[in-house]
């Protein structure tokens, strides 16, 4: 674009976005870091103009302002490109400028009692919740209402679970199966809320369990959502620690659990694959060990177990093999205080010993499978697989054509993937067997849900973001 977009603006900076993959980008988030020396713009005057002369919705974040003028900042926008290089211009004025009124991300009225923000991003309608700390799936913090606008289905049926929680290293037998998303109320601070992106800091101190190595640990998460983009971004930071889980030393690793609830008999995502192919172990012996412990408890301590189930509002007559997975956590959780402490500690010690021995001595389980194609997880033993060396992944439904894509900036040695038709539960978890956490603290996860023509090309694009070149400031004489 050679003409001047608006003659009332006296300055502009040419920008060239460079796509090293040479692919078309659609609604891709871009952040340009700018510093101003001689000509310092009014912050509200910033405008982004594409090569066709059209104004793009933009937002200034990370700004450093002095006397109403911008010294430095990041200009964020979502753009579409068609080739290897695409030109834009950033216009600004040093003397005047009115704030733009863009139709971007919209804040809606919250629908849940502990809802903090309900957003219409253009791609999603989602609600971020603080949690209530009451122990059930419906009390967890995180995203508890999550709808793709085209599909118009809440990925968390009945808002009875949450997406994006942190479980390990706390949710382990060694620590009394503390379930942080269900047993704490998270603090949420808005960092940026504008038409292009909304960023939130979630933070709090994890409730203490039995393991003193994990006492008083602070958790911090940064979540960012973008206008009209399926991609959203999360970074997880946990205070440093070192402890033993599954009889193995672990330090500064966490379990992130992204859970979807479709409703019983439904399955929104039914196959799974790593970029290039998937190596995995099949089955979850640990789940069976927990079930055996529950049944043994009912035989050895019938009165105490019945009282615990009643306290947790679990039907005493119900077969434990049909329980929701949360019920195991709650029964063996020190915070719930349902079982007498001596019985609880004895059971947890037994679970650690049995699980470590059985899981790693079972030849069928330790056999590593490999598939170039999508793995049908629901057909695997226990509807669970443990893929290895994950970084770019896809969970896919052949029935709907929808996928959940992930791109992580650090390799995850083991993961737990569950896709269970009977309960409708889907889990993307960054843990190995026996709840051993595997994601490095400080890692960033990019995720996207929707229909994608080529999922591997899509994650390549988010991994190899658009680079940019800034030209010299151009001026228009008054």
- Is residue 311's pLDDT more than 70? yes
Q: Between 97 and 282, whose confidence is greater?
A: 282
- pLDDT at residue 341, rounded to an integer: 93
Pairing state between β 278-282 and 55-56: unpaired
Sign, CA dihedral 170-172-175-179, equals: positive
Distance separating alpha carbons of residues 73 and 368, to the nearest angstrom: 49
**Segments making up each domain of the chain, as ranges:** 11-95+464-475, 106-285+364-442, 286-353
Using pLDDT thresholds of 50, 70 and 90, give the confidence band for residue 317: confident
- pLDDT at residue 27, rounded to an integer: 92
- Chain mean position to CA 152: 20
- Is residue 216's pLDDT more than 80? yes
Distance separating alpha carbons of residues 73 and 36, to the nearest angstrom: 9
Contact present, 329 and 135 (Cβ < 8 Å): no
pLDDT tens digits, residue range 372-424?
999 999 999 999 999 999 999 999 999 999 999 999 999 999 999 999 998 89
- pLDDT at residue 244, rounded to an integer: 97
What average pLDDT score do residues 143-159 get?
96
Q: Helix crossing, 285-300 with 302-311: angle to 10°?
A: 120
**Full-model pTM:** 0.94
* Level-2 CATH architecture, domain 106-285+364-442: Distorted Sandwich (2.70)
Taking the CA atoms of residue 305, residue 306, residue 311 and residue 317 in that order, the dihedral angle to the nearest 10 degrees is 120
Of 91, 75, 72, 63, the residue nearest 31 (C-alpha): 75
Other CB atoms closer than 10 Å to residue 133's CB: what's the count? 18
**Residues whose CB is less than 8 angstroms from the CB of residue 386 and which lie 6 or more positions away in sequence, other chains included:** 280, 281, 282, 284, 414, 415, 416, 417, 432, 433
- pLDDT at residue 1, rounded to an integer: 54
In eight-state DSSP terms, residue 210 is: S
Using pLDDT thresholds of 50, 70 and 90, give the confidence band for residue 2: low
- pLDDT at residue 282, rounded to an integer: 97
Pair of tokens at residue 283: 């089955």
Sign, CA dihedral 260-261-264-267, equals: negative
Query: Does an H or E element contain 310, and which?
Result: helix 302-311
pLDDT tens digits, residue range 257-284?
999 999 989 999 999 999 999 999 999 9
Sign, CA dihedral 339-343-349-350, equals: negative
Report the mean per-residue pLDDT for the chain. 94
CA distances from 224 to 107, 157, 192 (A): 14, 23, 9
pLDDT tens digits, residue range 335-365?
999 999 999 999 999 999 999 999 999 999 9
Contact present, 405 and 288 (Cβ < 8 Å): no
129: phi then psi, degrees, rounded to nearest 5: -120, 150
- pLDDT at residue 137, rounded to an integer: 87
pLDDT tens digits, residue range 425-436?
999 999 999 999
- Is residue 238's pLDDT more than 90? yes
- pLDDT at residue 279, rounded to an integer: 98
**Residues whose CB is less than 8 angstroms from the CB of residue 296 and which lie 6 or more positions away in sequence, other chains included:** none
Contact present, 447 and 405 (Cβ < 8 Å): yes
Query: Does an H or E element contain 342, and which?
Result: helix 341-361
Task: Classify burial at 11, counting beta carbons within 10 Å of its beta carbon; exposed 0-12, middle 13-18, buried 19 or more.
Answer: middle
Q: Regarding the domain delimited by 11-95+464-475, which CATH topology (the fold level of the hierarchy) does it fall under?
A: Immunoglobulin-like (2.60.40)
pLDDT tens digits, residue range 171-193?
999 999 888 899 999 999 999 99
- Is residue 453's pLDDT more than 80? yes
Contact present, 194 and 104 (Cβ < 8 Å): yes
pLDDT tens digits, residue range 22-69?
888 999 999 999 999 888 998 889 999 998 999 999 999 999 999 889
What average pLDDT score do residues 135-157 get?
95
- Chain mean position to CA 75: 24
């Amino acid at each position: 674009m050679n003409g001047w977009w608006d003659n009332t603006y006296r300055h502009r900076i040419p920008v060239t976005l460079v796509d090293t993959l040479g692919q078309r980008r659609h609604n891709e988030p871009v952040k340009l870091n700018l510093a101003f020396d001689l000509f310092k713009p009014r912050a509200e005057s910033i405008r982004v103009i594409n090569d066709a002369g059209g104004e793009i919705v933009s937002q200034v974040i990370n700004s450093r302002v002095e006397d109403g003028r911008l010294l430095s900042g990041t200009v964020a926008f979502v753009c579409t490109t068609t080739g290897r290089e695409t030109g834009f211009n950033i216009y600004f004025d040093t003397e005047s400028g009115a704030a733009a009124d863009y139709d971007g991300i919209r804040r809606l009225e919250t629908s849940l009692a502990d809802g903090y923000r309900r957003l219409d991003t253009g791609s999603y309608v989602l609600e971020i919740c603080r949690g209530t700390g009451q122990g059930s799936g419906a009390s967890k913090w995180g995203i508890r209402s999550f709808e793709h606008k085209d599909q118009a289905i809440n990925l968390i049926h009945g808002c009875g679970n949450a997406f994006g929680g942190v479980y390990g290293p706390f949710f382990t037998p060694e620590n009394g199966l503390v379930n942080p998303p269900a047993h704490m109320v998270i603090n949420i601070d808005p960092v940026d809320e504008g038409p292009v992106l909304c960023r939130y800091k979630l933070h709090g101190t994890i409730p203490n369990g039995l393991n003193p190595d994990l006492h008083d640990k602070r958790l911090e998460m940064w979540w960012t959502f973008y206008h009209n983009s399926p991609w959203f971004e999360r970074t997880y930071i946990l205070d440093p620690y070192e402890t033993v889980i599954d009889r193995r030393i672990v330090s500064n690793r966490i379990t992130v659990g992204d859970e979807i609830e479709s409703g019983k008999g439904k399955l929104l995502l039914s196959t799974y694959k790593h970029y290039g192919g998937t190596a995995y172990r099949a089955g979850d012996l640990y789940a069976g060990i927990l079930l055996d412990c529950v049944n043994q408890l009912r035989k050895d301590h019938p009165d105490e177990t019945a009282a615990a189930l009643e306290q947790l509002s679990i039907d005493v007559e119900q077969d434990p093999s049909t329980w929701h997975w949360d019920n195991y956590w709650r029964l063996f959780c020190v915070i719930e205080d349902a079982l007498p402490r001596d019985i609880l500690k004895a059971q947890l010690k037994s679970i650690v010993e049995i699980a470590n021995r059985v899981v790693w001595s079972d030849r069928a389980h330790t056999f590593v499978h490999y598939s170039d194609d999508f793995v049908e997880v629901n057909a695997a033993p226990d509807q669970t697989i443990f893929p290895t060396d994950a970084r770019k992944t896809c969970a896919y439904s052949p029935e709907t054509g929808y996928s959940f894509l992930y791109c992580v900036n650090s390799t995850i040695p083991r993961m737990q993937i569950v896709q269970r038709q009977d309960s409708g539960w889907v889990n993307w978890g960054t843990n190995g067997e026996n709840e051993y956490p595997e994601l490095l603290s400080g890692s960033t996860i990019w995720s996207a849900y929707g229909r994608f023509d080529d999922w591997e090309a899509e994650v390549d694009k988010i991994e190899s973001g658009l680079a940019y070149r800034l030209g010299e400031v151009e001026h228009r004489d008054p």
